[in-house]
Amino acid sequence: MEKMTNAESESNRDRRRNGQGSPAGKVLVAGLAGLAVALFLNSSALLADATRQPDGTGRSVALAVWRPIESVASSLGLTWPRATVERLLGRSEVEQAITLLLEKIEVVATSEKDDRVTSSVQEEQEPREVPGEELRRSLKPNWDADNPFQLWVTGDSMVRFFGDTLVSLAETSTMVQATSEPVLSSGLSRPDFFDWPTRLAEIMTKHDPDAVVIILGGNDAQNIRAGDGEWLERFNEAWLAEYRRRIGTVMDLVTSDADRVLLWVGQPPMREEGFDQRMQLLNNLYQVEAAERDRVQYVDLRGLFTDSSGNYSRYLPDSAGKLVDVRLTDGVHLSHWGGQWLSALLLRELRRSPNVDELWVR
């Protein structure tokens, strides 16, 4: 019997050496062993992914699975290879920098509601009172090629589809320097994934732009975690209050400099009805918060991206009446043409102020 087993084993080995494969059962065990190795070595990343998931059953299940695995892996020292590689790639340094900035913002944020980030600025400079329609007249008109008008275009993945075009359009003037910075999958609901106030504070401090264009919201229709750690259900009263507070924080942070304006771009109409309704609800919040601030202008996109019946359409007539596709097949993002239309609209909005308009006239 033993002899037969040995012979069988030898024959299997030969087959394997000759590239004829292995028994399915052993392949299953080997595959599962490989997956187990991958899960343990990768457990910190899997746990981080689970943490970033939208609140709900999927997230709870994922956390329940990955937490103990990560805990065991890290106590056995199995997470260090990946951590080491990420450190070598410089990823952990970025995280560290963000954490430091976050702490800095939190120190400022411990004071009262919306004036937290602006307080230090206000101490140095009394903000000018600027009536709504006059807002951009307050901008300094002394830009030239050496001291260009700084435009910063930022937000979620939507920016990928118009940001660079707007930059190109704006930079047709030598007195304008523009930057586009999309952060995919980001929003105001999940600062644990990407912290916009922190990043914006960094941009305002380092680059001091004259105008900022922001579009956010596409990823925000999800439960959010309040400061006390409690999860707030999407669109309930507490959620709306918290989300408005976050919008206000960002708007105040950007306009903390009295010479800076903010164009807050609303979400365009979406193909999927439920998603469209959710985005319209968010748009209402942006509009209300913008209306409460002098140097924030809400840019509504419904008129630009709806058909004659006021509905979403992928194809819309251009100025010559020719139908062009303005949206991508996902029913969410903008196509090349859509990006051009939006960029032209935003540039028009920027140029409404006489001083700014001169940048492209001179």
Partner 1 sequence: MLFPTFAFGLFFVVVFVLNWLTRPHPTVWRAVIFGSSIFFYGWWNWRFVILLLWAIGSNWFAGNKINSCRLRGAQDGVRAWTSIAIASDLTLLGVFKYYDFFAVELSNLLGMGNAVPILELTLPVGISFFTFQAMSYVIDLRRGVIEPMKFLDFAVYLSFFPQLVAGPIVRASEMAPQIAKRPDPRRVASAEAFHLILRGLFKKVVVSSWLASNLVDGVFADPQGHSSLDVLFGVYGYAIQIYADFSGYTDIAIGVALLLGFRFPINFDRPYSALSLRDFWRRWHITLSSWLRDYLYIPLGGNRGQNSDMYRNLLITMLLGGLWHGSTWNFVIWGAIHGVALIIERSLPTERIHPVVRWALTFHVVCFAWIFFRADSVSAASDVLSAIIGSSGDAKVLNAGLIFLVLASIGVQFVTKSASARMGSWMNRRPVLIQGIAFGMGLVVIDTFGPEGIAPFIYFQF
Residues that bind partner 1 (CB under 8 A): 12, 15-17, 19-38, 41-42, 45-46, 81-82, 85-86, 89, 160-161, 163-165, 167-168, 171, 184-185, 271, 307, 313-315, 317, 321-323, 325, 329, 331, 335-337, 339
Q: How far is the CB of 151 from partner 1 (least distance, A)?
A: 13
Q: Which element (helix H / strand E) includes 295?
A: none
3-state secondary structure of 313: coil
* Cβ proximity to partner 1, 79 vs 118, nearer residue: 79
Given a contact cutoff of 8 angstroms between Cβ atoms, the answer to whether 213 and 166 are in contact is yes
Q: How far is the CB of 309 from partner 1 (least distance, A)?
A: 10
Q: How far is the CB of 284 from partner 1 (least distance, A)?
A: 26
DSSP code for 227:
T
* Cβ proximity to partner 1, 45 vs 175, nearer residue: 45
Q: Give the 3-state secondary structure of 123-156.
A: HHCCCCCCCHHHHHHHCCCCCCCCCCEEEEEEEC
Nearest to 164 by CA among 11, 20, 346: 346
| Cα 269–chain centre separation | 19
* Cβ proximity to partner 1, 9 vs 99, nearer residue: 9
| Half-sphere exposure for 321 (CA within 13 Å, toward CB) | 0
Q: How far is the CB of 113 from partner 1 (least distance, A)?
A: 33
Q: How far is the CB of 46 from partner 1 (least distance, A)?
A: 8
CA–CA gap between residue 250 and residue 203 (Å, rounded): 12
* Cβ proximity to partner 1, 34 vs 354, nearer residue: 34
Given a contact cutoff of 8 angstroms between Cβ atoms, the answer to whether 195 and 95 are in contact is no
* Cβ proximity to partner 1, 16 vs 207, nearer residue: 16
Q: How far is the CB of 39 from partner 1 (least distance, A)?
A: 8
Given a contact cutoff of 8 angstroms between Cβ atoms, the answer to whether 346 and 263 are in contact is yes
* Cβ proximity to partner 1, 160 vs 244, nearer residue: 160
Q: How far is the CB of 339 from partner 1 (least distance, A)?
A: 8
* Cβ proximity to partner 1, 193 vs 245, nearer residue: 193
Cα–Cα distances in angstroms (integers) from residue 299 to residues 129, 207, 209, 290, 305, in the given order: 22, 24, 19, 10, 12
